[in-house]
Structure 1
Amino acid sequence: MNDTTTKLLTLLNVSATKAGKRKWTTIDEQPSEKLNKRKKTAQFAAVDSEDNAEDMPVTEVVVDTEMEVEDVEMREEPEDEGGPDAYESHFGRTPALLTDASRANIDRNAWSTSRRTRGKLGSVVELVPEGSQPGASSDTAILERLRTPFRKRQTKQPREQTDLQKDLLSALSTNGDVYLPSTAWEHKKPIREAISLQAINHVTKKRRRILKNNERLSKVDSSASPPEDVQDQGFTRPSILILLPFRSSALDWFSALTSHTPSPAFQIENQSRFLAEYSLSPGMVDKLTTAEPGTYPRDHVETFKGNVDDNFRVGIKLTRKSVKMFADFYGCDIIIASPLGLRRSIEKEKSADYLSSIEILIVDQMEALAMQNWEHVKFVLSHLNKLPKDSHNTDFSRVKPWYLDGHAAYLRQSILISALETPDTRSLFNSTLKNVAGKLRVEKRWSPVQVPEGIHQNLVSFDCSNPQDEADKRFNYFTTQILPSVLKSAVQSSNTAIFIPSSFDFIRVQNYFKKHAGVSFAVLSEYSTNQDVSRARQAFFNGKKSFILISERFHFYKRYKIRGIRNLIFYGPPDHPEFYTELLSCPFLDDGVEASDVTCRVLYCKYDWFRLERIAGTEGALELVKAA
């Protein structure tokens, strides 16, 4: 007996002994009259804010764990034309691609790789388990009642966006994983709308299948065994998880999701509360959006406009005629949350059972999530598609077999979106995604960034043959080669800024300066208060501090222009290429500065490939890595 079976049997045995729980039996032993009419006691907090819900008294109400009574009003919709339904083929009772061979190949990381061009997506790398064939793309997988209004809206947008959405939906129609690691800001909205359409379509088809089976079961004689193909659910109801960095991001996705539900009789419950909690508070002015165009870089405005609180979670329940915001997690279809908000919920409740049946994972703005705390993302993903600790009154006769076998992770569709790629995001794509339908990664060739004309850029490589040694090798080369030569120079031993991408490296270099450097220095980190920042900038500009240490997270959040810089040392290439250009432009904030007055050194090794490519361009980075 394998571990998965043992855990599942333990779950069933333990949950069956709890008071108020229905013992799980086989269909042959005790058929249920209506298998989805399970009731559970849920707890709702009567609160005005999601953040203080933990401290408020709760009221017990009875809810339906799968479909409420009002859902029964929906009648079966016609099947899509053009062949077998993609939802049933992949997420149905017996997925064709879920075989012992495909799972074994995925577990040993055996993928067949191919490259091709996919329209507006550009060059892509497609990976499928060895021995499998790539899934056939289609544009007919969306239900007609969702597809028709979507196409109508497309006629009002630029052709380029429409083509991008079409190509993206074609890739998503295979139910394979999709990774968009270099998404332009102008494409964010059309991409959100296309992915939201995929999510709404998925929930609708799932609900339609459940209601169809309900109707069939209602006609089955109570003395007869129900048909075996009614297994149409997971352990819990939520099937879509959207991870985002800020409340403003959640507001954007809410708009995208609700854009696909236009109906004269359609209602959005708790919309005013959601808008109040996820928008700026009344009276607050967003200086990023009200400032004169060009005052702040576009990527900074797009990232930080609106409510940038990073601790939130909200459940969304979809019915035929309404969207219910702030639904209980065990009674909702979609969960929108920040990794921090979800982690706090999991740690407080000591359970992540509501993530056991996630079938579509969407992670957006991964570049911002990386600047927050990537460990939160890894924590949440580690709890996806695990066997639940409690039964939650689940009717196991309706649970799909592959959930019972612990194979849900092999069918989950993951959609990853980022403005840039990092080793962490590539590692997530390579190691965490196990979809038997395969996975697709968009490639991009980068051009060199533009820097002020005449500045000599000195890119210095250090030898490193093992990624595990990279941090130590970099620190050793910096402290024994770079810094001593700088301190010996009368010109470079003052007015010098040291930019450090990694927070770990930043603390390490700061401690070294405190104990060994013997020079005056100021610090600008993400933990610096406004008073600390003002004091540090002033001291450096006035020459009271010879060096200033700048963390990439500080620049990401603040985007200050630092005056007084004449010498720049990049401890490593920045993740964000625009930061490189901006810092090299800082010396020219001061009058009378010539390009010959500015020095620039960039320390790098071959493991800096992603960051180096965005600065030197793809071709230039190849030459630099070869020379490293």
Structure 2
Amino acid sequence: MLSMLSSQRDLYFTRTPLDAHQSMREAITLHALNHITKKRRRVLKNNERLAHASKAGNPAPEDVQDQGFTRPSVLILLPFRSFAHKWITALTSHTPSPSYQVENRARFYTEYGLPSGAVDKLANADPGTYPRDHVEMFSGNVDDAFRLGIKMTRKSVKLFADFYGCDLILASPLGLRMSIEKEKNADFLSSIEVLIVDQMDALTMQNWDHVQFVFSRLNQLPKESHDADFSRIKPWYLDGHASYLRQTILLTGYETPETRALFNSSLKNVAGKVRTERKWTPVEVPAGIDQNFVQFDCSHPKDEPEKRFHHFTTQILPVVMKSAVQSVNTVVFIPSSFDFIRVQNHFRKSLGVSFSVLSEYSSNQEISRVRQAFFSGKTAFLLVSERFHFFRRYKIRGIRNLIFYGPPDHPQFYTEFLSYPFLDDGVDASDVTCRVLYSKYDWLRLERIAGTEGAAALLKRGAV
């Protein structure tokens, strides 16, 4: 991996396994430290050359362009404070004491760990109580608004450094956006030379607009000079070409159209870019369940939400509503938040059936009431957003019929929902129905569920 990083090309790791997360962080922080150290040595060497020339009364050397407009050169974007904790652990593994001193470590543990006396129910639960990926994602401090400047010197790592005096910034997209909008400029992002985005799959479950906002502010000409010595600034910064010399490293558990689009359209590195690719095998599901994949025609991605909604409301729901068995104990799983609101409004205005909803905004009290009402049969339909399941990961009892409005982004969610009917005693696979609505634009999600070969076969057969 270090050889790939040292190539200076943009790298997009599209399927980072859980067991490899920390080793990848350690490799990438070593690469980032190497970049910062080389930059510092170059600046110090040129400072000496300029001082010697001045002392000797000689003209200043001309080849001393070694800086950007501002000092920060590495940016790491993360979803939660707990991940800042993991990246600092990886970073300081390369700066051991007594050679290095880590300043403000106690403050960092206080602000980026759990409050004193708090119990982390995920981290302390018996193995198997919660899915591993959920424990990895949500144990620790899950605040999503933070920003942290880190200054590197020859003998120390200073946490909580001022942005314009630091070398590395660790932040969430939301935290950076709040800072930029408050200060009304993003000059501290003007000279980023190494950009790392970790857990992109989690960032898509937050607000992707914040990620796009940060990317749009990177490597722009600053509004203020910030005491920069323009004779020392690299020419491509002055020419407005800094984004072409920036290395971007993207890490995600799986791809989405948003992450692929970011890779395709926002990375301009002249050294080139690399995207990893792997074949997927079908996810495991309980034996005997008849999985009915329903394809609808769509010739343009802009028409996809409308075509999906039309097929769902005119082809799938009428069939379901005519069946006494399928019009009760039915979960509709909806990946997109926009689609979720639209389907919810349709159920409220048009169907006249009892239904409940579980979204990322549901309170604990609402969740308890809705789960009990669905399990007891008081509500016939339950609409579940993928974001709800991502953040809360509750098991839901009482399911006999599953309708996936689209394949879930997270393939494990598909497996989990197909296993939930068997939480109830006496349920046979023949008692469970499953429909998955998809189009050719669902390729990335479909591939993770049906496998690469299976997804290709599903798309080849065409709409029914």
**TM-score, with normalisation over the residues of structure 2?**
0.99
How many Å apart are 1:550 and its aligned residue? Answer: 0.2
Task: Name the CA distance, whole Å, in 2 between partners of 1:541 and 1:255.
Answer: 44
How many Å apart are 1:282 and its aligned residue? Answer: 1.1
How many Å apart are 1:466 and its aligned residue? Answer: 0.2
Number of aligned positions between the proteins: 461
Alignment match of 1:382 (pick from 216, 228, 239)? 216
How many Å apart are 1:393 and its aligned residue? Answer: 1.0
How many Å apart are 1:589 and its aligned residue? Answer: 0.6
**3-state SS of 1:248 partner:** helix
Aligned counterpart, 2:394:
560
Task: Name the CA distance, whole Å, in 2 between partners of 1:408 and 1:175.
Answer: 14
1:257 corresponds to 2:78: no
1:509 corresponds to 2:343: yes
In the alignment, residue 241 of structure 2 is paired with which amino acid?
A: H
1:455 corresponds to 2:289: yes
Task: Name the CA distance, whole Å, in 2 between partners of 1:221 and 1:379.
Answer: 44
Task: Name the CA distance, whole Å, in 2 between partners of 1:529 and 1:595.
Answer: 32
How many Å apart are 1:509 and its aligned residue? Answer: 0.2
Alignment match of 1:213 (pick from 43, 46, 54)? 46
Task: Name the CA distance, whole Å, in 1 between partners of 2:306 and 2:245.
Answer: 40
Task: Name the CA distance, whole Å, in 2 between partners of 1:592 and 1:367.
Answer: 37
1:344 corresponds to 2:178: yes
Task: Name the CA distance, whole Å, in 1 between partners of 2:423 and 2:24.
Answer: 38
Give per-residue Cα distances to partners, 1:410-429, cap 9 Å, x unaligned. 01000000011100001111
Alignment match of 1:192 (pick from 15, 25, 48)? 25
Task: Name the CA distance, whole Å, in 2 between partners of 1:257 and 1:357.
Answer: 21
**3-state SS of 2:274 partner:** strand
Aligned counterpart, 1:526:
360
How many Å apart are 1:290 and its aligned residue? Answer: 1.0
Task: Name the CA distance, whole Å, in 1 between partners of 2:460 and 2:268.
Answer: 32
Aligned counterpart, 1:316:
150
In the TM superposition, 1:36-435 aligns within 5 A as: 168-221=1-54, 224-435=58-269
Alignment match of 2:272 (pick from 438, 442, 453)? 438
Query: Which runs of 5 or more structure 1 residues have no equivalent in the other structure?
Result: 1-167
How many Å apart are 1:474 and its aligned residue? Answer: 0.2
How many Å apart are 1:627 and its aligned residue? Answer: 1.7
In the TM superposition, 1:535-546 aligns within 5 A as: 535-546=369-380
**3-state SS of 1:327 partner:** coil
Task: Name the CA distance, whole Å, in 2 between partners of 1:600 and 1:221.
Answer: 78
**3-state SS of 2:53 partner:** coil
**3-state SS of 1:346 partner:** helix
In the alignment, residue 238 of structure 1 is paired with which amino acid?
A: P
Aligned counterpart, 2:313:
479
Task: Name the CA distance, whole Å, in 2 between partners of 1:625 and 1:359.
Answer: 41
Percent identity between the two aligned chains: 72
Task: Name the CA distance, whole Å, in 2 between partners of 1:271 and 1:203.
Answer: 20
Task: Name the CA distance, whole Å, in 2 between partners of 1:221 and 1:254.
Answer: 40
How many Å apart are 1:323 and its aligned residue? Answer: 0.6
Aligned counterpart, 2:404:
570
How many Å apart are 1:227 and its aligned residue? Answer: 1.1
In the alignment, residue 62 of structure 2 is paired with which amino acid?
A: E
How many Å apart are 1:236 and its aligned residue? Answer: 0.1
How many Å apart are 1:225 and its aligned residue? Answer: 2.7
**3-state SS of 1:175 partner:** coil
How many Å apart are 1:289 and its aligned residue? Answer: 1.3
How many Å apart are 1:228 and its aligned residue? Answer: 1.0
Bigger Rg, structure 1 or 2: 1
Give per-residue Cα distances to partners, 1:302-341, cap 9 Å, x unaligned. 0001111101000000000101000000000000000000
Task: Name the CA distance, whole Å, in 2 between partners of 1:259 and 1:292.
Answer: 28
Task: Name the CA distance, whole Å, in 1 between partners of 2:112 and 2:221.
Answer: 32
Point out 4+ residue stretches in structure 1 off by more than 3 angstroms.
221-224
Aligned counterpart, 1:605:
439
How many Å apart are 1:261 and its aligned residue? Answer: 1.2
Cα-Cα RMSD: 0.8
**3-state SS of 1:314 partner:** strand
Task: Name the CA distance, whole Å, in 1 between partners of 2:267 and 2:89.
Answer: 28
How many Å apart are 1:365 and its aligned residue? Answer: 0.4
In the alignment, residue 250 of structure 1 is paired with which amino acid?
A: A
Alignment match of 2:385 (pick from 521, 539, 551)? 551
**3-state SS of 2:54 partner:** coil
**TM-score, with normalisation over the residues of structure 1?**
0.73
**3-state SS of 1:198 partner:** helix
In the alignment, residue 12 of structure 2 is paired with which amino acid?
A: Y
Task: Name the CA distance, whole Å, in 1 between partners of 2:378 and 2:263.
Answer: 47
How many Å apart are 1:263 and its aligned residue? Answer: 4.3
